[in-house]
Structure 1
Amino acid sequence: MFPNRLRTFLVLASVAFSGLLQAPVSAQNAKESSLSSGTAIVAQAVNPNYPVVNSGDWRSVNPQNIPWSQPVIVSDPFDGNYLAVLDRNYKDLAYGGRASVVSSWSRDTIRVFGFIGVQERCGFFLSCANNLVAARADYLEIKVGNQIFRIQGDGSGSFPVSPQLAVALATAPPVDALIRVTFDGYTHPVTSAIGTGTVRSWKVVYAKPAF
């Protein structure tokens, strides 16, 4: 009789001990599930079905399939995903040649890159244009309505967005704006238009956050 009771006790103890071992695993699974669900909710809040663009795709001399002048989610391996509007404009230079000015407008930072080709004389009547060469933006001026903002860059083509500038961009009139960019190694700044599509998208990017 005693051995049978002992055997029953050992079986019950084994089952109970096994349950104790499995409880933390279940709790961990529940925690991971909760975190995963929370992450998905946050991701949906950050990305309201806007197109996703890799950060390096638009910063090239001839970017392909970029949704210009509309809100996008830029995917960056260091900065993560952020809302922005991308803009591109070609500009004939007064001293000959052509420039392509591309920019990214996000809540905290404006990024500007230039690709400049200067024409050289190939003969008496012909001019040859060099290939567009990447140029770093060092100084940025933005004209929105009657306001002008002047921003010194950080040496990488990035410019901080102040609260005052964010308000000006969010409330910009629906007409072309202007930027004037000073590129490293070039004496003359480049004045470039920002089209109405980008200006309208500023209202989305720089809308006052809801708390």
Structure 2
Amino acid sequence: MINLPQTIPVLLFGVSLAVLSPQLCAAFAIQEVASLTQASSDLPVVKSTVLSPDMDVPWSKPVRIVDPFEGEFLGVFDRNSLGSHLSHEDSEQVISLWTPSNIRVLVTVNFEQARSSFYTAGRVYPRPDYRRFVTTKKVDKLLLKVRQKVFKLDGSTGTFAVSQELATALKNAPDENLDIRLVLEGGQSVDSKIGKETVKAWRKIY
């Protein structure tokens, strides 16, 4: 049990104010860190920050990331498919990871598939199996619209720093889908959305 020191009363213009001692401030800070640690320990654990087309993680939910190179922190993964189905040629997928310090975005494109068939009894039967070829595109800029404000972020290798202003906006974003625009290397733009479940999860991240 921690014995907290007494507050120091100060008389200012006839009004008595309670000023917290440095020891008491430190005790409150320790208690806050302990509560945050307890909350994060109940979250699912993801052991890497690497984004890939076929990754298997809890989507749109707060997670505790324990990466061997980057350390431990909170985050939420989001995925949005652009097109009727990922196996279709030219369909795109936008995968993102939202952490307190940065946003990481990966755009994948299914650009080709190869189906095989076999011939028997005078008929050609297509085989159900297929091969999917996936490529990625470099994202140079990220635009987010939160309420009426548009944030324009410049990044490196698909990673964008989160400012305090942006973190506050994300934390207070309304419970609805959020529009984003990705500017790819070469100037091509891709419009996508962040689902409202991810938007809700931001409140535990920021």
Q: What is the CA distance between 1:184 and its match in structure 2?
A: 2.6
Match of 1:172 in 2: 173
Instruction: From the superposition, tell whether residues 136 and 45 of structure 1 become closer, same or farther in structure 2 (CA, over 3 Å).
Output: farther
Task: Say what the alpha-carbon RMSD is for the aligned residues.
Answer: 2.5
Match of 2:92 in 1: 99
The number of residues matched between the two structures is 152
Match of 1:188 in 2: 188
Worse-matched range after superposition: 77-86 or 176-185: 176-185
User: 1:33-90 CA distances to partner (integer Å, 9 max, x unpaired)?
Assistant: xxxxxxxx69944733100112256x111112x1100100112122101101110001
User: 1:12-52 CA distances to partner (integer Å, 9 max, x unpaired)?
Assistant: xxxxxxxxxxxxxxxxxxxxxxxxxxxxx699447331001
For 1:166 and 1:142, locate their aligned partners in 2 and report how far apart those are by CA, in whole Å: 12
Match of 2:12 in 1: none
Letter in 2 for 1:150: K
Structure (1/2) with the larger helix percentage: 1
For 2:45 and 2:138, locate their aligned partners in 1 and report how far apart those are by CA, in whole Å: 25
SS at match of 1:156: coil
Instruction: From the superposition, tell whether residues 191 and 60 of structure 1 become closer, same or farther in structure 2 (CA, over 3 Å).
Output: same
The structure that has the greater radius of gyration is 1
Q: What is the CA distance between 1:170 and its match in structure 2?
A: 0.5
Q: What is the CA distance between 1:143 and its match in structure 2?
A: 1.1
Which ranges of structure 1 fall in alignment gaps of 5 or more residues?
Answer: 1-40, 121-128, 207-211
Q: TM-score by structure 1 length? A: 0.65
Letter in 2 for 1:181: L
Picking from 40, 48, 51, the partner of 1:55 is 48
Q: What is the CA distance between 1:169 and its match in structure 2?
A: 0.3
Match of 1:142 in 2: 144
Letter in 2 for 1:110: I
Q: What is the CA distance between 1:117 and its match in structure 2?
A: 3.0
Taking the TM superposition and a 5 Å limit, the aligned residue runs for 1:75-94 are 75-92=66-83
Match of 2:198 in 1: 198
For 2:137 and 2:99, locate their aligned partners in 1 and report how far apart those are by CA, in whole Å: 21
For 1:140 and 1:117, locate their aligned partners in 2 and report how far apart those are by CA, in whole Å: 22
Q: What is the CA distance between 1:189 and its match in structure 2?
A: 1.0
For 1:61 and 1:158, locate their aligned partners in 2 and report how far apart those are by CA, in whole Å: 17
SS at match of 1:84: strand
For 2:188 and 2:194, locate their aligned partners in 1 and report how far apart those are by CA, in whole Å: 19
For 2:75 and 2:176, locate their aligned partners in 1 and report how far apart those are by CA, in whole Å: 19
Letter in 2 for 1:148: V
Is 1:115 equivalent to 2:108 in the alignment? yes
SS at match of 1:62: coil
User: 1:76-120 CA distances to partner (integer Å, 9 max, x unpaired)?
Assistant: 122101101110001139xx8211110011111101111023479
Contact 1:46 1:82 in 2 (8 A): no
Contact 2:49 2:65 in 1 (8 A): no
SS at match of 1:47: helix
Which ranges of structure 2 fall in alignment gaps of 5 or more residues?
Answer: 1-33, 114-130
Contact 1:179 1:192 in 2 (8 A): yes
